[in-house]
């Protein structure tokens, strides 16, 4: 029986493991955390249908119970070596494992908002990230720095993406719609609270996104301002002062808000960067490089080494899951082609 190792137990890793196991392939799923699906567990509701993230996590976790999947959690694979006929996986404690094929599904990490010093994250309590807001929404406690219900919440797009200063020129793809989703959630939970979104342009690329954006304005009264925030500072009463420009009006803008939510972009995770460099498959910005985007987007160009999900580029959960299914088919084709 052919063996496949999958590194990373996020949506892509689990979905690929499930597809491969159902096709009679023995799969070992490695995850450096003690539990899978950490990035989903951090979320409350998912766009565009506001389905509870926990439902998706539960559904995916259930797939791990299938026959043929062995999970190895709490182990970080730090190196991969091609042995001529199989891959040797080496973990951080120098233990080794072998597999006929490997799928890298090491995912993303969010941009560290501390790097955008001018926005005051980690300095002013009223400045939070989209992850922090997701937790507040999840627990039904959207509170300002003083522990009170905010009167105004402001979202800022493109923090750490499409940003030359931080070195990330690419679009993180999911932040626009996430801000719309979170702004709607704020208005649902706190109907008296104003919600504004500062944006460069809104990229509503997915099915239902444009409708959500329209609903945010028409039904929930979310205001959208085209402009980036140049500076955040605390005010005497513990609020946050923002400086920006409304580029549609052509006017400089200074306002105060109770919460400034930084929509942090996706970056290649540390694990993605480590393995990418170790195997020579590291591409732009540390994401995994594949052979060709149109027809060979799961192939790394190395025999039996594949990649899926957000280790390649920012993508949504559903894109990751679909990509994982495609990777699983490519892996099955590969192992089937190996001599018995």
Partner 1 sequence: MNRFWNEYQKAIADDHYFYERSCIRQTFFPGSETAFLRMLREELNKDIFDDFRQHTCTGIGYHTDVVPLETTMTVVARLFSLMTEHGYENYVPSCVTSFGVFTEMCHMWQEHPELLEKTRENLYKACKREFNIPKNIAHPSDVIYHFRNELAQKMKYRLVNRFTGRPLKVVEHIGCHYAKIFPDKGVGKAEFPYVLAGMIEAWGGEVVDYPERRHCCGFGFRQYLVQENRGYSVSNTKKKLESMEPYEPDFIVSNCPGCSMFLDRWQYTIAEMEHKTYDREGYGIPVLTYEEMAGLLLGYDPWELGLQIHQVQAERLLDKIGIPYDPKAKYRAADGKILRAPEKPENLLV
Contact positions vs partner 1 (CB under 8 A): 114, 117-118, 122-123, 231, 233-236, 241
Smallest distance, partner 1 to C-beta of residue 233, A: 4
Q: Which is nearer to partner 1, 128 or 335 (CB)?
A: 128
CB 182 within 8 Å of CB 155: yes
DSSP 2-32: -EEEEE--SHHHHHHHHHHHHTT-EEEEEES
Q: Which is nearer to partner 1, 36 or 150 (CB)?
A: 150
Q: Which is nearer to partner 1, 201 or 231 (CB)?
A: 231
Smallest distance, partner 1 to C-beta of residue 114, A: 7
Cross-strand bridge partners of residue 194: 152
Smallest distance, partner 1 to C-beta of residue 117, A: 4
Smallest distance, partner 1 to C-beta of residue 264, A: 17
CB 262 within 8 Å of CB 130: yes
Smallest distance, partner 1 to C-beta of residue 234, A: 6
Q: Which is nearer to partner 1, 131 or 233 (CB)?
A: 233
End-to-end CA distance of the chain: give it in Å, rounded: 9
DSSP 189-215: H-TTSEEEEEES-----STTHHHHHHH
Q: Which is nearer to partner 1, 28 or 241 (CB)?
A: 241
Q: Which is nearer to partner 1, 138 or 151 (CB)?
A: 151
Smallest distance, partner 1 to C-beta of residue 235, A: 5
Using alpha carbons only, what angle is made at residue 112 by residues 178 and 307, rounded to the nearest 5 degrees?
Answer: 70
Smallest distance, partner 1 to C-beta of residue 245, A: 16
Q: Which is nearer to partner 1, 192 or 254 (CB)?
A: 254
**Which element (helix H / strand E) includes 60?**
helix 53-63
- 102 burial type by CB count under 10 A (0-12 exposed, 13-18 middle, 19+ buried): buried
DSSP E strand boundaries for the chain: 3-7, 26-31, 45-46, 51-52, 69-73, 77-82, 87-91, 96-99, 101-104, 108-110, 127-129, 152-159, 194-199, 223-226, 229-234, 240-246, 251-257, 259-264, 266-268, 305-307
CB 131 within 8 Å of CB 262: no
């Amino acid at each position: 029986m052919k063996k496949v190792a999958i590194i990373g137990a996020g949506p892509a890793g689990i979905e690929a493991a499930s597809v491969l196991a159902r096709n009679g392939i023995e799969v070992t799923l490695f995850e450096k955390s003690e539990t899978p699906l950490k990035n989903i567990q951090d979320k409350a509701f998912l766009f565009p249908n506001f389905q509870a993230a926990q439902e998706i996590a539960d559904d995916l976790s259930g797939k791990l119970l299938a026959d043929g999947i062995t999970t190895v959690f709490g182990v970080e694979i730090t190196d991969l070596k091609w042995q001529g006929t199989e891959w040797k996986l080496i973990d951080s404690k120098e233990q080794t494992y072998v597999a006929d094929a490997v799928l890298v599904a090491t995912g993303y990490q969010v941009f560290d908002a501390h790097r955008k010093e001018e926005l005051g994250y980690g300095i002013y309590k009223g400045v939070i990230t989209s992850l922090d807001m997701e937790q507040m929404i999840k627990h039904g406690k959207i509170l300002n720095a003083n522990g009170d219900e905010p009167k105004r919440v402001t979202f800022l797009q493109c923090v750490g993406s499409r940003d030359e200063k931080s070195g990330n020129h690419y679009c993180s793809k999911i932040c626009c719609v996430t801000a719309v989703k979170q702004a709607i959630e704020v208005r649902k939970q706190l109907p008296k609270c104003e919600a504004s979104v500062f944006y460069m342009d809104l990229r509503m690329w997915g099915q239902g996104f444009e409708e959500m954006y329209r609903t945010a304005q028409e039904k929930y009264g979310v205001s959208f301002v085209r402009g980036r925030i140049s500076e955040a500072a605390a005010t005497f009463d513990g609020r946050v002062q923002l400086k920006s420009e409304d580029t549609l009006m052509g006017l400089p803008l200074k306002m105060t808000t109770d919460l400034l939510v930084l929509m942090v972009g996706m970056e290649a995770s540390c694990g993605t960067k480590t393995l990418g460099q170790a195997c020579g498959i590291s591409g732009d910005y540390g994401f995994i490089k594949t052979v060709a985007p149109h027809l060979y987007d799961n192939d790394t160009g190395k025999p039996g080494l594949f990649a899926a999900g957000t280790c390649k580029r920012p993508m949504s959960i559903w894109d990751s899951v679909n990509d994982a299914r495609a990777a699983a088919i490519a892996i099955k084709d590969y192992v089937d082609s190996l001599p018995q």
